[in-house]
Amino acid sequence: MEPIIIVHGGAGDIPQSRVQGKLNGVKASVAAGQQILAQGGSALDAVEAAVVLMEKDEYFNAGYGSVLNLSGEVEMEASIMCGKNLDVGAVTLIKDFSHPISIAHKVLTNSPHSLLGGEGAKIFALGMGFSTVPPESLISENAKNALNDFLKHGEFGRTEIGIKDEGGVGTVGAVAVDCNCHVAVATSTGGMSGKAVGRIGDTPQIGSGTYADDNIGGVSTTGHGESILKYCLAHSIIKLMESGNDANTATKIAVDGMTNRLNNTAGAITLSKTGDVGINFSSNRMAWAYIKSNKIFYGIEKNEVHEEEYVSEKPSCK
Amino acid sequence: MEPIIIVHGGAGDIPQSRVQGKLNGVKASVAAGQQILAQGGSALDAVEAAVVLMEKDEYFNAGYGSVLNLSGEVEMEASIMCGKNLDVGAVTLIKDFSHPISIAHKVLTNSPHSLLGGEGAKIFALGMGFSTVPPESLISENAKNALNDFLKHGEFGRTEIGIKDEGGVGTVGAVAVDCNCHVAVATSTGGMSGKAVGRIGDTPQIGSGTYADDNIGGVSTTGHGESILKYCLAHSIIKLMESGNDANTATKIAVDGMTNRLNNTAGAITLSKTGDVGINFSSNRMAWAYIKSNKIFYGIEKNEVHEEEYVSEKPSCK
């Protein structure tokens, strides 16, 4: 089949000042992933590469530019899943590495475990050859401002509805199906501004932030983490596809179901195993992009789809 | 409705020497939970009380008697979920508290977050008035022996099939429906013998180790953690019940499905919202017990159900 990749740059009350930066970022990210797929690379490598680019970009709440916890620290988490055998790699409570998603990928390939946290994750990462960076080097001005805003007027669990939160949104994710019909999903985040030290959200929890199954498809989610994990949003979408819904219908039913039950918002990107696309968000905005048939599609507003020609190497395995 | 509670004491290659201790433990645990329900107490309080009793009991891998990580330390995790509003409390990487499930319950009631880990979980627990205990006070002889055995011949990810692992099994859990038709589930564990420092398993991941929804029912799982989380075992059982399967059929389909896909074993206990019981395990043994209509039912072998009269206060809300 023709390989395909879709990415998101986070759902939430994205202020106008950050719209263009996010759109530029998701377009660059999806192109990086698509290049790997076009050369016959694996879905796992493609989603990692797409997420790495967004972890470098301060317009997203992942890696550099992650939001800060109540102690003013970055605490990041990420997960990656392989739909062939359901293998998982995930990390949480990571403070001083640039690319949590790359450590998660190494957990998938080199650890008997699926999820490592805190000091144990650091020990594993150092053993795999990753280098620490000074924690303060991951902190952006925007993240500092977001924490200050939260400390002034923040209301927990409601970052996506009602108040503006400039830095608190922007979890990133990618879903790909490669030319061997393997599905992979990657998700990475800094969590929510002003979170308690030690707070773990939906991103490293499999079935909440991330799910991939070659028999069905893949999902990456973003939004209010505590609600996403209570609803098992990614797995709910997968199960709706398994029972016959197309990717877009399944994504809409589950995002609406979570929002109606828990009164917080979220978004998700979905691919079926055959490459059908699902995009839905109940938050005000969610940046997304995908590349298919030499076109790049992208958007950030509800009911908005931009479409441009995209010149790339021809997929080697079409 | 007549309230009901079911508990498990872990699935795996339970050696004969520990069978009677586990049976005594699950019977005492389920009775402790039933007393709360019979007095009109909540399902949340009942499942916490049932799990607390097993956390105290060295026959189970939770609280005192938890298995040891590669550094010879206890690192525990627990989760509790309320089916009414899907509220969750969970903790992970807890080293020096006697009852992780009680801290998890406080996360549910007193934190804006759902899952706290490591130092952050400790700070929260201390703030809620929990006292630390010396970490070595949680270590049993059996757990030390299990780590030594693992270091001699252990093979990761296969503790439940093929090799005997005396201390590596025994996650505990409870599922209850109270007289107000509210469902709650609690699960607590020390993980697996010889796990890496910082390893987080299925127990604190919602949809893997624990799930509760008043509209459907509740599930607590046990077994090979990495497989359970890859399969989202608890949520898979919930979704099978939602689509019309009874509790026992749903539990069997999902446990078999996980075992066939991932070649590791697990078990689960399930209640539907109307109190129908589901029990299934693909491991050699799993201790379980439930109380219904003044009888206590319990077992540990496949296709074995013991039944005894059980004298209790009459449920106040029958």
What integer pLDDT is reported at residue B152 of this predicted model? Answer: 84
- Judged by average pLDDT, the poorest of B167-171, B287-291, B293-297 is B167-171
Q: Output the six-digit token pair for A142.
A: 């925007």
Residue B201 in marked binding region: yes
Q: Judged by CB atoms within 8 Å, which residues 207-266 of A form the interface with B?
A: 207-208, 211, 225-226, 229-232, 235-236, 239, 243, 261-262
Does the structure show a pLDDT above 50 at B167? Answer: no
**Domain A60-171+178-282: which CATH class?**
alpha beta
The widest CA-to-CA distance across chain B, in whole angstroms, is: 54
The domain segmentation of chain B, as residue ranges, is 4-66+79-84+140-309
Interface of B with A in 141-170 (CB under 8 A): 156-157
Cα–Cα distance, B104 to B80 (Å, whole number): 6
Whether chain B has a CB inside 8 Å of the CB on A111: the answer is yes
Q: Is B158 annotated among the ligand-binding residues?
A: no
Nearest chain A residue (CA) to B81? A230
Degrees to nearest 5, angle at CA B65 with B220 and B135 = 115
Structure-model confidence comparison of residues B13 and A120, the more confident one: A120
Q: What is the rounded distance in angstroms from the CA atom of residue B233 to the CA atom of residue B256?
A: 10
* Residues of chain A found within 8 Å of residue B261, distances taken between Cβ atoms: 86
Find out whether B109 is annotated in a ligand binding site: no
Q: Calculate how close chain B gets to A295, using CA atoms only, in Å.
A: 34
Sequence-distant (6+) residues with CB within 8 A of A182 are A42, A43, A44, A82, A83, A84, A214
Residues of B annotated as catalytic (active site), given as ranges? 171
Spatial distance between the Cα atoms of B29 and B222, rounded to a whole number of angstroms: 16
Residue from the list A119, A156, A230 with its beta carbon closest to the beta carbon of B86: A230
Q: How far does the CA of residue B312 sit from the closest CA of chain A (Å)?
A: 34
Which residue, among B70, B114, B192, B229, would best test binding to A if mutated, counting the most A CBs under 10 Å from its CB?
B114
Ligand-binding annotation for A261, yes or no, is no
The answer to the question of whether A244 is labelled as a binding residue is no
DSSP strands (E only) in A190-239: 199-200, 210-213, 217-223
- pLDDT of B1: 85
Other CB atoms within 10 A of residue B191 CB: 28
pLDDT of residue A160: 38
Please give, one letter per residue, the 3-state secondary structure of chain B. CCCEEEEEEEEECCCHHHHHHHHHHHHHHHHHHHHHHHCCCCHHHHHHHHHHHHHCCCCCCCCCCCCCECCCCCCEEEEEEECCCCCEEEEEEECCCCCHHHHHHHHHHHCCCCEEEHHHHHHHHHHCCCCCCCHHHHCCHHHHHHHHHHHHHCCCCCCCCCCCCCCCCCCEEEEEECCCCCEEEEEEECCCCCECCCEECCCCCECCCEEEECCCEEEEEEECHHHHHHHCHHHHHHHHHHCCCCHHHHHHHHHHHHHHHHCCCEEEEEEECCCCEEEEECCCEEEEEEEECCEEEEECCCCCCEEEECCCCCCCCC
Q: Do residue B198 and residue A119 have CB atoms under 8 angstroms apart?
A: yes
**Over residues B162-182, mean pLDDT:** 78
C-alpha to C-alpha distance for A267 and A173, rounded to whole angstroms = 11
Alpha carbons B2 and B71: distance in angstroms, whole number: 46
First-to-final CA distance of chain A = 5
- Report phi then psi at B25, rounded to 5: -65, -45
Predicted pLDDT of residue B166: 42
CA nearest A210: which of A184, A245, A192, A177?
A: A184
**Cβ pair B118:A198 closer than 8 A:** yes
Report how far residue A256's alpha carbon sits from residue A242's, in angstroms, rounded to the nearest whole number.
18
Residue from B274, B264, B198 nearest B229 by CA: B264
pLDDT of the residue at A226: 96
The answer to whether A123 contacts chain B (CB < 8 Å) is yes
- What is residue B154's predicted lDDT score, i.e. its pLDDT? 66
- Most B CBs within 10 Å, among A195, A226, A262, to test the B interface: A226
pLDDT for B163 equals: 44
Asked if B29 and B174 touch (Cβ cutoff 8 Å), the reply is yes
Tell me the pLDDT tens digit for each residue of B34-92: 999 999 999 999 999 999 999 999 999 999 999 999 999 999 999 999 999 999 999 99
The verdict on a CB contact (< 8 Å) between B114 and A196 is: no
Q: Note the pLDDT tens digit of each residue in A29-78.
A: 999 999 999 999 999 999 999 999 999 999 999 999 999 999 999 999 99
Chain B CB contacts of A93 under 8 Å are 117-118, 120
Q: Select the residue of B92, B204, B206 nearest A232 (Cβ to Cβ).
A: B206
Write the ipTM: 0.95
Residue pair A187/A173 in contact by the 8 Å Cβ criterion: yes
**A 20-39 → B contacts, CB under 8 A:** none
Using an 8 Å Cβ cutoff, are B81 and B214 in contact? no
The pLDDT averaged over each successive group of 10 residues in chain A (318 residues) is 95 91 98 96 98 97 95 97 98 98 98 97 98 96 88 59 50 97 98 94 98 98 96 98 98 98 96 98 96 94 96 65
A87 touches chain B (CB under 8 A): yes
Q: What's the confidence (pLDDT) of residue B264? A: 92
A171 flagged as catalytic = yes
- Give yes or no for residue B157 having a pLDDT over 60: no
CATH number given to B4-66+79-84+140-309: 3.60.20.30
Q: Distance between CA atoms of B318 and A47, rounded to whole angstroms?
A: 54
CA torsion sign, A125 to A130 to A132 to A135? negative
Is the CB of residue B199 less than 8 Å away from at least one CB of chain A? yes
Q: Do B120 and A207 touch (CB under 8 A)?
A: no
